[in-house]
Amino acid sequence: MTLRKPSRLGRGDVIGVISPAAAVPAETLRRGCTELERLGFSVRVGPHALDRHRFLAGTDSDRAHELTAMFHDPEVRAIFCSRAGYGSGRLLPLLDFPALARTQKIFLGFSDVTLLLNAFVQQAGLVCFHGPVVAGEFATGFSPRSLSHLLGVLMTGTGEERLAFPTVIRDGVAEGWLLGGCLSLLVTTLGTPFALDPTGVVLFIEDVGEKPYRIDRMLTHLKQAGKLDNLAGVIFGSMSGCLGDSNDPALLLSVIADVFDDYSYPIGFGLPAGHGGENLALPLGTRVRLDTTQRHLTFLEPAVL
C-alpha cells in the first residue's frame, strides 16, 4: 500500500478549521484558534464552522462542501477539525475521494472523525492524523509532551520515535500500516463501503466511557465480521472510563484477551492516545512496528514530506 503524504507544516502556514460533525460553541472555538495563532500559524475558519442544524454543525451538504473546499484551497496547508461529537459518517457518501486524493494535505481529528480518517487512508490513499481538535486540547491546554509530539509529527514528520505502553496482552513483534481510532465508530462502518480492510494493519483501538460488556459486544461484532482476521497486530489506547463499576482493569483486559484468543499477533494496551490522558498524535497510513516484548510502538517513516 503506497499512500500520498502531505507537505510539512511551517510557521505562518494557513490552517483551515472545519466542523464536520457536531455543533461547536463559538467561544471554545475562538480560544482554540487563538492558541493556533500563538503557535505561529494563520487560521482560516470555515464559513459554516459555527453553523447549527439540529445537533450538527450545519447541514450535511454544507459540511461536506466546506471540507472539500478546504482541500482544494491552495492557500490552506492543513485542515484541523474543530471538534467531533457526532456526524462525520453522514459526509462519507458526499465526498469525492479520487478528487481529494489529488490535493493531499494534513488532516487532523479524532473520536467521531475516525470515520473520515480511515476513509481518507483507504478510499483516497492519503496519510492523515489521529489527534487533538481545535475546540478540545487547543482550547483547554496540552501537556508539553503532547504539543511537542504533535508539532514534530506535522512540521518535521517525526515526533517521538516510539511511544511506550504499559500492558502486554500477547507478546510478539509485528510491522504494518497504522489504522483505527474510536472502537464504537469503527463498528458503525460494518456493512458499508467504508468498513475497515484489516490486511496487514496494526489496528489502534480506543474509546471512552464504554462499559466492559459493551467493549466485548463491539469487539465480537468486528470479529464475527472478519475484521480482526489478517491483522498484523493490535494496540489499545488508555480506554478512559471503560473499566466498569469496579474500576478494575482486570475485567476489561480479560474481555480483550478472550476476544482475541483465536489470533497469534501481538496485542498491547495503554498507548497514550485518544480520549483521556495525553492524546499523542498518530499518523494513520504510515508504517509502524508494534513490539509488545519491549512495549513500544515505533514509527518507521516520516509522516509528511
Q: What is the structure's pLDDT at 46? A: 97
Domains of the chain in sequence order: 14-141 (3.40.50.10740), 162-299 (3.50.30.60)
CA 147 from centroid of its chain's CA atoms: 16
Residue 245: which pLDDT band, with cuts at 50, 70 and 90? confident
- The DSSP bridge pattern shows strands 106-109 and 42-45 to be unpaired
Residue 1: which pLDDT band, with cuts at 50, 70 and 90? low
Could you tell me if residue 111 is left (phi over 0), alpha (psi between -120 and 50 degrees) or otherwise beta?
A: left
Active site residue 206: yes
pLDDT, one tens digit per residue, over 86-129 is 999 999 999 999 999 999 999 999 999 999 999 999 999 999 99
Run of H or E residues at 45: strand 42-45
Q: What is the structure's pLDDT at 83? A: 96
For residues 215 and 267, give the distance between their C-alpha atoms in angstroms, rounded to a whole number: 16
For residues 192 and 125, give the distance between their C-alpha atoms in angstroms, rounded to a whole number: 18
CB atoms within 10 A of CB 148: 14
pLDDT, one tens digit per residue, over 179-205 is 999 999 999 999 999 999 999 999 999
Give pTM, 2 decimals: 0.97
Q: How many CA atoms lie within 13 A of 71 on its CB side?
A: 23
Instruction: Report the largest interatomic distance among the alpha carbons of the chain, rounded to a whole angstrom.
Output: 52
CB atoms within 10 A of CB 43: 16
Q: Residue 240's closest CA among 287, 193, 207, 191? A: 207
- Residue of 35, 66, 206, 210 marked catalytic: 206
Active site residue 111: yes
Q: Is the per-residue pLDDT at 253 higher than 90?
A: yes
- Residue of 35, 275, 278, 296 marked catalytic: 275
Q: Is the per-residue pLDDT at 277 higher than 80?
A: no
For residues 287 and 284, give the distance between their C-alpha atoms in angstroms, rounded to a whole number: 9
Q: Is the per-residue pLDDT at 2 higher than 80?
A: no
pLDDT, one tens digit per residue, over 58-75 is 999 999 999 999 999 999
- Residue of 19, 82, 111, 184 marked catalytic: 111
Q: Is the per-residue pLDDT at 160 higher than 90?
A: yes
